[in-house]
Amino acid sequence: MLATVVIGALRLATTNLENVKERTKDVFVFSLFGLSPLDASVLSLVESVPYAVIGTTVGYLSGLGFNGLLIAVNIVPAGHVFNYASIFVVIALVAILVSALASSLYPSFVASRLITPSLERKWKPPTKPYHDEWTMDLPAVLTSIDEACGLIEYLWEYYSGAGAAKPSFLVREVSPPSFKELRLELGTVSLAPYETHTDQRVVIQCSRAKGEEEPYNLGVYLKMLSGNRSVWVSSNYYLIDDLRKQILIWRALPQETRDKCIRTAKESLARSE
């Protein structure tokens, strides 16, 4: 039995490694949308669960059917009773499940290394808060004012719709974007756990670092309004990480979708003047 479990685990580990190798390009694409090394590791690890569950279930049911066949052809006496719920059966099933998961640990580690081959396994905010204020730059370089307006329009649509309510934060108030100032303000954002009543104001701003020839950069300003400061600091990771992922999604959008956001932003700017 031990030899069978070991051979099965090695075979599953080989299969998972082959899957990771075949999906190398897919992992790189997912990383553009914010897939972290931890996410890639879990993604590879979870793939082994169906193998383990389905294999164990099919093997157990096949054993029941095969025993019935032996009785039907009189190879085993009809009065013979099989103990299908013995402790040895339970141990065998658990051993197969554990070996299947254990054999996926190394392939999952390989998948995580494809994204960040360094000791930094998780994205971290580039700056620290100062009292109740926090300012940081985001990974976005916008080559023109049109692209900056389009991104502001995209983020406004996101936080007015699908991005308003997330498990880690709740956008309670969104002001109309100012395309003249390239600015979007989220008036009140509540951070989880909500019973701490931790609220803040968020300002997303596009600006040039130096002269008129420089590209536009994107920054975010956070102002704590109420609640627990430690919750404010720790929970903002999820808000900023979500915003970072939306910027990556903006870069990967089809050009037609980006052009539509730019046109909408220009029309709004023209009406405000």
pLDDT tens, position by position, 171-222: 999 999 999 899 999 999 999 999 999 999 999 999 876 666 678 888 999 9
The two most distant CA atoms of the chain are separated, in Å, by: 93
Of 186-195, 211-220, 230-239, 255-264, which range is least confident? 211-220
**Angstrom distances, CA of residue 169 to CA of 83, 85, 186, 193, 241:** 53, 47, 12, 9, 12
Residues in the chain: 273
Select, from the ranges 64-68, 108-112, 160-164, the one with the highest average predicted confidence (pLDDT): 160-164
Cα torsion angle, 111, 116, 117, 118, sign? negative
Residues 6+ apart with CB under 8 A from 269: 149, 179, 180
Domain that includes residue 255, residue range:
133-272
Q: Are 253 and 242 in contact (CB under 8 A)?
A: no
| Structure confidence at residue 85 (pLDDT) | 66
- Give the integer Cα–Cα distance in Å for 249 and 272: 28
- Mark out the alpha helices in the chain (DSSP H runs): 2-22, 24-32, 37-46, 48-72, 87-102, 105-113, 145-160, 229-252, 255-272
Q: How many CB atoms lie within 10 A of CB 224?
A: 21
Query: Is residue 126 in some structural domain?
Result: no
State the CATH number of the domain containing residue 158.
3.30.530
Looking at 85, 113, 141, the residue that finishes a domain is 113
Same-domain pairing of 150 and 90: no
Q: What is the pLDDT of residues 72-124, one digit of tens each?
A: 777 777 666 666 667 777 777 777 777 767 767 777 777 677 665 544 556 67
Residue 175 DSSP code:
P
Q: What is the pLDDT of residues 96-109, one digit of tens each?
A: 777 767 767 777 77
| Structure confidence at residue 166 (pLDDT) | 92
- Give the integer Cα–Cα distance in Å for 83 and 93: 14
Q: What is the pTM of this model?
A: 0.59
Same-domain pairing of 139 and 267: yes
Strands (E), the chain: 133-142, 165-166, 169-173, 183-191, 198-208, 216-226
Query: Is residue 128 in some structural domain?
Result: no
- Give the integer Cα–Cα distance in Å for 201 and 221: 8
Same-domain pairing of 221 and 165: yes
Please check the confidence at residue 35 and state whether its pLDDT lies above 90. Answer: no
Same-domain pairing of 107 and 142: no
State how many domains the chain has. 2
Angle between helices 37-46 and 24-32 (to 10 degrees): 130
